[in-house]
């Protein structure tokens, strides 16, 4: 047996996908099942192309698949019986570890299931038969009771019905009068309540008044048993039919047969009827005793079945999955006796040694379904050779050979293939939540940079920019900490719950995201100086208000904050975040915070987009796509830097150079508008300066701006024509090489050339075409030029729209702030701003606080939090990832058994 | 009991939050925080500055006392919720002790 060289493979972080090895897996038919069971539990092997629609089955295991389906049907039938009788089916949480399936166990499952099924079916059939018999006797007894009560009523009074009176009624309805002897015939039975009315109507139309029907409902519904259906509770009517002539009874009996009426005997005299009723009552009691014992036996059998039914069901489902997979593998070996199954698999490189160990152990421990006889033969051989000690060395030598021939073989493929390997990230419970956010948009290409590591910081941060509030952040931290602290109880609850709680699953999967969102919200609450909609003053405000009483009461004077006077603004900014004066200065607060937050949104948005372009450059370097780097990414970066990077520079320069407390021409009156400056830069026009102000923000501003616009517009032709020209030149060079060396030209398909970010230089993908070279080039080049034009337009216009899209950071922050303020003033202030005495004010305050707290959690934390979450998600999916993320990969779908829980 | 376990936990959370926040609000009203001036029951016009100061001081004091008293009531609710949760825990332990007996009988 060949020994693999175990090269040192370090486990990479999840910045890029794991290295994938393409392997050939050769399994012996004797132990393939057990090997695949172990591989399924490990969950690190992906079988390629086995679930395609046009995949041919080898039909070696079709019988096994059918057998598993049959056994699962028996399991479902037993489960139905168990549910009917409310028998306890035992649940084993550790079924995946302690009750691992082996192929020899399937025969045991088959035998035990069939035996239990036969016993349960027989006992159930017996029970149903006894119950039907009891029901019929109860019906008979009830019908007799009612008939007897009706018949003997003539002893009481002449006003009631009597036999002679009924005879008179019946005779009056007929045409004959007194021709027949006076004799009354009657019949009793039981019919279903839902059929009685049509039955009565039919008899009336057939017999008219020659037949009189009386009915009474039985006190309780009874069960009806039909083969193959569930027992059904139905209401029953006991009926009494009386007629003077015996000629109509055959017709009535036929109708009764069609309506499934149970006809019962009715003795003529009252004493005989009473004796019959007593006899039936005694018989009912006896049958009920037997029924009780039958039910006890039935329950015992089902309890024995319920003891192992969960394990059997879980393992049968796994066996079904494995046999279906084995049925799809390719058979190799001799033509007459195929003995091996061949599969092409992808395994993460760092998991290959572990998979080899698993396959070796499974091969050694395995006992196939056909090995029972061989083990018995071994025992017999041991008994025979007990007196002799000579053959032992021979057996010791023979064992490794057999093990080697029957073992599974895993070979790595070194030949390159056309298709992209699957993408696999090794995650833990912290990083899985963030990776799920990215995978919901698209799976990364193989070896493409993964956005998830950077999302760990940028996602909660941008959420906090919109949601920032110290108190609300603390609530998020408490909630996520509770889920993290109780994670073992929550997982146990998820395993044992009989119905799935989807909201809890989503929140539990994202508990670390919520924790980081809370932490960053606390930070932004400190920056915004807001806690539960109220500002706080930690370091002392830099502003003060000094007016005397005469000035305040002067109606002509307008009270305002004059930042140019040292009595109002001390000139030293607040150390951390916004000055708390903006929370109390009224209308000026909106003006100031809007300006600040809009500029902050622009700065953060452009920073994130530039970071995305940096990742695009790193992606091109790592994937060896130099043409894309030089002709696509770098022009994009230059374009963004010259225009929108300059916008960020203008914002910071204005903040640092101008101020209300500075002398002219750098005071508030002379501060130019950044937006107007930017628009004038793009339109290349000048405006007249304001009086006593400079006409520029810094020296040579106009010249620099024109130069930047020129450079930005120079990159657009590179974006448009750079790559098509490069492809044309490369094709021409390849054509010359082909003509010179008589080699086949390596052409790129249109699908690959349409990709602007993924430029594959696949030398092994040689495709021959029947078309001529000139026609093909012309067709493909037109496609390439069209696509390049579209990409250029998208880049230029997308820069503007994506920058504007980041203004939602300001919009949602403003909305959250105003909603918090409205909730405080409309709800909680009603507990403060009243002049009630103490024993009235305290309950009012308690009630208003309770309402305010509930509304804070329901509206500000839940609804506003969800809104900020969705907007942050869109900013990441569209504005950030569109710069560098292809997202066209396939995820690594390992052959894996999901964790068993109560519902499986 | 009159309230389930989840309801007890909810009441405990709300009462603890109420106790903490109303105490903080009481302190801030006592030290006459400027941020809370708008929440006081004061008219919009005053004849003089001294009148405004007197009425504001009085309103601050009244609301502060009200907050502290409400916080004390919420503390009472906190204790009631804790007692209810402990009683529920004891009841669950009692139910759990029957489990082995039940299993023993079944065996």
pLDDT > 90? residue A518: yes
User: Who among B22, B62, B69 is closest to A849 (CB)?
Assistant: B22
Spatial separation of the C-alpha atoms in residues A279 and A283, rounded to whole Å = 6
pLDDT single digits (tens) A557-570:
666 667 776 777 77
pLDDT of residue A161: 47
Contact between residue A78 and residue A117 where contact means Cβ atoms under 8 Å apart = yes
Binning pLDDT at 50, 70 and 90, where does residue A280 land? confident
Q: If pLDDT is split at 50, 70 and 90, which confidence band does A379 have?
A: very low
List the single best residue of A550, A583, A832 to mutate versus B (max B Cβ within 10 A): A832
Choose among A134, A151, A164, A135: nearest CA to A272.
A151
**B chain contacts of residue A853, beta-carbon cutoff 8 Å:** 14, 17-18
pLDDT at residue number A421: 85
How much of chain A exceeds pLDDT 70, in percent?
A: 80
- Put simply, the answer to whether B49 touches A850 (Cβ < 8 Å) is no
β-bridge pairing A185-192 and A232-234: unpaired
- Structure confidence at residue A107 (pLDDT): 84
* pLDDT-based confidence at residue A675 (cuts at 50, 70, 90): confident
Q: Looking at the domain assignment, is residue A681 inside a domain?
A: yes
Question: Is residue A305 predicted with pLDDT exceeding 60?
Answer: yes
pLDDT attached to residue A636: 87
* A187: CB partners within 8 A, 6+ apart: A240, A241, A249, A252, A263, A266
Q: Is residue A868 part of a domain?
A: yes
Task: Note whether B40 contacts A534, CB cutoff 8 Å.
Answer: no
Q: Is residue A30 part of a domain?
A: yes
Instruction: Tell me the C-alpha distance between B96 and B104, whole Å.
Output: 13
Q: Quick one: pLDDT band at residue A415, thresholds 50, 70, 90?
A: low
Q: Tell me which of B7, B22, B37, B38 to substitute to probe the interface with A (most A C-beta atoms closer than 10 Å).
A: B38
The segment with the largest mean pLDDT, out of A360-374, A491-505, A554-568, is: A491-505
In angstroms, the separation between the Cα of residue A555 and the nearest Cα of chain B is 13
A238 burial via Cβ count (<10 Å: 0-12, 13-18, 19+): buried
Q: Specify the pLDDT at position A418.
A: 61
Local confidence band at A167 (pLDDT 50, 70, 90 cut-offs): low
- Residues in chain A whose Cβ is within 8 Å of chain B: 532, 534-537, 549, 552, 580, 583-584, 824-825, 828-829, 831-835, 838, 841-842, 845-846, 849-850, 853-854
Question: What is the torsional sign of CA A666, A668, A673, A674?
Answer: positive
C-beta atoms of A534 and B14 within 8 A = no
Average pLDDT over residues A357-378: 56
At residue A378 the predicted structure's pLDDT band, cuts being 50, 70 and 90, is very low
Residue in chain B lying closest to A536 (CA): B35
Chain A contact for B89, CB < 8 A? Answer: no
Query: Given pLDDT bands bounded at 50, 70 and 90, which one contains residue A604?
Result: very high
Q: Where are the alpha helices (DSSP H) in A385-413?
A: 392-406
Ranked by mean pLDDT, the top range of A218-222, A313-317, A872-876 is: A872-876
Q: pLDDT: is A88 or A855 the higher one?
A: A855
Which segments of A333-388 does DSSP mark as H helices, in order? Answer: 352-365, 371-384
Residues spanned by the domain of A634: 625-745+770-806
Residues A604 and A636 in one domain: no
pLDDT: which is higher, A305 or A94: A305
Q: In the predicted model, what is the mean pLDDT of residues A600-628?
A: 89
Work out the burial of residue A77: count CB atoms within 10 Å of its CB; fewer than 13 is exposed, 13-18 middle, 19 or more buried: middle
Asked if the structure places residue A521 within a domain, the reply is: yes
What pLDDT sits at residue A371? 43
Look at residue A747 in the predicted model and tell me its pLDDT.
41
Burial class (CB in 10 A: 0-12, 13-18, 19+), A744: exposed
- pLDDT confidence of A195, banded at 50, 70, 90? confident
- Average pLDDT on A111-129 reads 83
**pLDDT band at A828, cuts 50/70/90?**
confident
- With a cut of 90, say whether residue A78 has pLDDT above it: no
Q: What would the mean pLDDT of A385-411 be, rounded to a whole number?
A: 48
Reported as a pLDDT band with limits 50, 70 and 90, residue A365 is low
> Per mean pLDDT, which range of A36-40, A200-204, A578-582, A745-749 is the poorest?
A745-749
Examine residue A142 and state whether it is found in any structural domain, yes or no: yes
> What is the pLDDT of chain A when averaged over all its residues?
77
| Residue range A116-143: mean pLDDT, rounded | 84
State the pLDDT at residue A177: 43
Residue A582 domain-assigned?
no
What residues of A are in contact with residue B36 (Cβ under 8 Å)? 534, 832
Look at A580 and B35 and tell me if their CB atoms are within 8 Å.
Answer: yes
Higher pLDDT, A588 or A654: A654
Indicate if A236 and A262 belong to the same structural domain: yes
**Statement: residue A426 has pLDDT above 70:** yes
- Between residues A635 and A491, the one the model is more confident about: A635
The H or E element that residue B3 is part of is none
Tell me: do A655 and A706 sit in the same domain.
Answer: yes
A732 and A609 both lie in a single domain: no
Identity of the highest mean pLDDT range in A165-174, A216-225, A434-443, A680-689:
A434-443
Query: How does DSSP classify residue A421?
Result: P
Q: Do A131 and A265 fall within a single domain?
A: yes
pLDDT computed for residue A785 by the predictor: 84
Q: How confident is the model over A860-867, as a mean pLDDT?
A: 89
- Sheet with A262-264: strands ordered across: A211-217, A236-243, A185-192, A262-264
**Do A706 and A837 share a domain, yes or no?**
no
Task: Tell whether A346 and A438 lie within a shared domain.
Answer: no
Predicted local confidence at residue A370, as pLDDT: 42
In chain A, the number of structural domains is 4
CB-based burial of residue A21 (10 Å sphere; 0-12 exposed, 13-18 middle, 19+ buried)? buried
pLDDT at position A215 over 60: yes
Return per-residue pLDDT of chain B as tens, 107 residues.
Answer: 556 877 888 889 889 999 988 989 899 899 888 778 878 888 877 788 778 878 898 899 888 988 999 999 999 989 889 999 887 888 777 665 554 444 444 43
Same domain, A256 and A360: no
- A391 assigned to some structural domain: yes
Same domain, A28 and A140: no
> Is residue A366 very low, low, confident or very high in pLDDT (cuts 50, 70, 90)?
low
Instruction: Mark whether A607 and A634 lie in a shared domain.
Output: no
Domain shared by A467 and A616, yes or no: yes
pLDDT tens, residue by residue, A476-489:
999 899 889 888 77
Q: Does residue B18 belong to the interface with chain A, where contact is any CB pair within 8 Å?
A: yes
**Residues near A858 by beta carbon (within 8 Å), at least 6 away in sequence:** none
Give me the pLDDT at residue A543, please: 81
CA distances for A420 relative to A751, A760, A890, angstroms: 14, 11, 8
Of A40-44, A615-619, B70-74, the range with the lowest mean pLDDT is A40-44
Do residues A802 and A827 both lie within one domain?
no
* Domain membership flag for residue A70: no
In which band, very low, low, confident or very high, does the pLDDT at A805 lie, cut at 50, 70 and 90?
A: very high
């Amino acid at each position: 047996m060949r020994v693999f060289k175990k090269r040192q493979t370090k486990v990479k972080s999840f910045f890029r996908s794991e290295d994938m090895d393409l392997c050939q897996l050769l399994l012996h038919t004797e132990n393939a099942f057990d090997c695949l069971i172990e591989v399924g539990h490990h969950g690190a092997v992906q079988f390629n192309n086995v679930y395609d629609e046009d995949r041919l089955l080898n039909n070696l295991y079709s019988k096994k698949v059918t057998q598993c389906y049959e056994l699962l049907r028996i399991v479902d039938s037993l489960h139905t019986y168990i549910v009917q009788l409310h028998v306890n089916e035992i649940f084993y949480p550790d079924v995946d570890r302690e009750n691992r399936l082996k192929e020899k166990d399937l025969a045991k499952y088959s035998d035990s299931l069939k035996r239990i099924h036969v016993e349960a079916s027989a006992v159930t059939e017996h029970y149903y038969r006894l119950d039907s018999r009891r029901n019929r006797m109860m019906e008979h007894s009830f019908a007799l009771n009612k008939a007897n009560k009706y018949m003997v009523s003539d002893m009481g009074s002449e006003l009631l019905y009597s036999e002679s009176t009924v005879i008179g009624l019946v005779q009056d309805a007929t045409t004959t009068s007194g021709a027949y002897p006076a004799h009354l015939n009657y019949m009793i039975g039981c019919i279903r309540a839902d059929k009685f009315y049509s039955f009565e109507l039919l008899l009336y139309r057939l017999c008219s008044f020659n037949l009189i029907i009386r009915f009474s409902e039985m006190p309780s519904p009874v069960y009806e048993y039909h083969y193959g259906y569930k027992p059904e509770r139905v209401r029953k009517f006991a009926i009494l039919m009386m007629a003077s002539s015996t000629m109509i009874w055959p017709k009535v009996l036929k109708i009764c047969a069609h309506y499934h009426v149970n006809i019962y005997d009715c003795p003529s005299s009252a004493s005989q009827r009473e004796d019959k009723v007593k006899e039936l009552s005694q018989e009912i009691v006896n049958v009920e005793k037997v029924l009780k014992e039958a039910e006890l036996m039935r329950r015992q059998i089902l309890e024995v079945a319920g003891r192992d039914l969960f394990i059997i069901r879980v393992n049968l489902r796994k066996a079904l999955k494995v046999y279906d997979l084995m049925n799809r593998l390719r058979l190799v070996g001799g033509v007459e006796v195929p003995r091996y199954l061949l599969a092409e698999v992808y395994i993460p490189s760092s998991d290959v040694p572990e998979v080899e160990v698993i396959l070796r152990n499974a091969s050694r421990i395995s006992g196939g379904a056909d090995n029972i006889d061989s083990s018995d033969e071994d025992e017999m051989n041991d008994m025979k050779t007990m007196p002799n000690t000579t053959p032992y060395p021979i057996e010791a030598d023979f064992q490794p050979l057999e093990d080697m021939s029957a073992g599974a073989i895993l070979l790595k493929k070194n030949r390159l293939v056309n298709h992209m390997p699957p993408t696999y990230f090794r995650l833990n419970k912290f990083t899985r939540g963030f990776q799920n956010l990215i995978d919901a948009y698209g799976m990364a290409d193989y070896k493409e940079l993964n956005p998830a590591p950077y999302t760990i910081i940028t996602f909660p941060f941008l959420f906090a920019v919109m949601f920032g509030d110290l108190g609300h952040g603390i609530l998020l931290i408490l909630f996520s900490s509770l889920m993290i602290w109780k994670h073992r109880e929550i997982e146990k609850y998820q395993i044992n719950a009989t119905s799935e709680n989807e909201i809890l699953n989503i929140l539990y999967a994202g508990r670390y995201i919520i924790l980081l969102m809370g932490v960053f919200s606390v930070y932004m609450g400190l920056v915004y100086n807001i806690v539960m909609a109220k500002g706080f003053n930690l370091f002392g405000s830099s502003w003060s208000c000094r007016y005397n009483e005469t000035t305040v009461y002067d109606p002509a004077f307008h009270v305002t904050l004059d930042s140019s006077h040292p009595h109002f603004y001390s000139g030293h900014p607040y150390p951390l975040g916004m000055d708390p004066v903006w929370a109390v200065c009224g209308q000026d607060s909106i003006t100031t915070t809007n300006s600040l937050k809009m500029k902050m949104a622009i700065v953060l948005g452009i920073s994130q987009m530039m970071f995305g372009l940096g990742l695009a450059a790193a992606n091109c370097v790592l994937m060896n796509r130099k043409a894309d780097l030089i002709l696509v990414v770098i022009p994009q970066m230059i374009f963004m830097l010259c225009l929108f990077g300059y916008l960020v520079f203008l914002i910071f320069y204005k903040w640092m150079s101008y101020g209300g407390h500075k002398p002219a021409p750098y005071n508030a009156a002379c501060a130019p508008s950044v937006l107007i400056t930017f628009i004038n830069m793009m339109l290349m026009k000048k405006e007249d300066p304001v009086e006593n102000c400079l006409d520029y923000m810094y020296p040579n501003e106009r010249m620099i701006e024109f130069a930047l616009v020129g450079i930005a517009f120079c990159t657009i032709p590179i974006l448009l024509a750079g790559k098509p020209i490069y492809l044309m030149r490369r094709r021409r060079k390849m054509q010359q090489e082909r003509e010179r060396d008589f080699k086949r030209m390596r052409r790129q398909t249109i699908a690959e050339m349409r990709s602007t970010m993924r430029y594959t230089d696949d030398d092994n993908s040689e495709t021959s075409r029947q078309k001529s070279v000139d026609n093909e080039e012309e067709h493909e080049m037109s496609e390439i030029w069209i696509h390049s034009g579209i990409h250029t337009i998208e880049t230029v216009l997308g820069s503007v729209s994506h920058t504007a899209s980041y203004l939602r950071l300001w919009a949602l922050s403003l909305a959250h702030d105003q909603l918090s303020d409205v909730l405080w003033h409309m709800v909680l202030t009603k507990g403060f701003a009243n002049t009630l005495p103490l024993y009235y004010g305290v309950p009012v305050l308690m009630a208003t606080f309770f309402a305010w707290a509930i509304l804070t959690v329901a509206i500000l934390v839940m609804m506003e939090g969800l809104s900020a979450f969705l907007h942050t998600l869109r900013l990441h999916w569209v504005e950030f990832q569109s710069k560098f993320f292809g997202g066209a990969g396939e995820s690594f779908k390992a052959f894996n058994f999901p964790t068993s829980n109560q519902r499986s | 009991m009159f309230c389930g376990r989840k309801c007890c936990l909810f009441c405990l959370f709300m009462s603890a939050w109420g106790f903490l926040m109303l105490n903080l609000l009481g302190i801030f009203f006592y030290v006459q925080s400027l941020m809370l001036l708008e929440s006081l029951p004061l008219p919009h016009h005053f004849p003089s500055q001294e009148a405004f100061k007197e009425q504001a001081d009085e309103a601050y004091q009244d609301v502060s006392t009200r907050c502290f008293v409400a916080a004390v009531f919420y503390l009472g609710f906190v204790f009631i919720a804790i007692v209810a949760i402990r009683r529920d825990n004891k009841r669950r332990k009692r139910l759990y002790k029957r489990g082995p007996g039940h299993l023993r009988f079944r065996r």
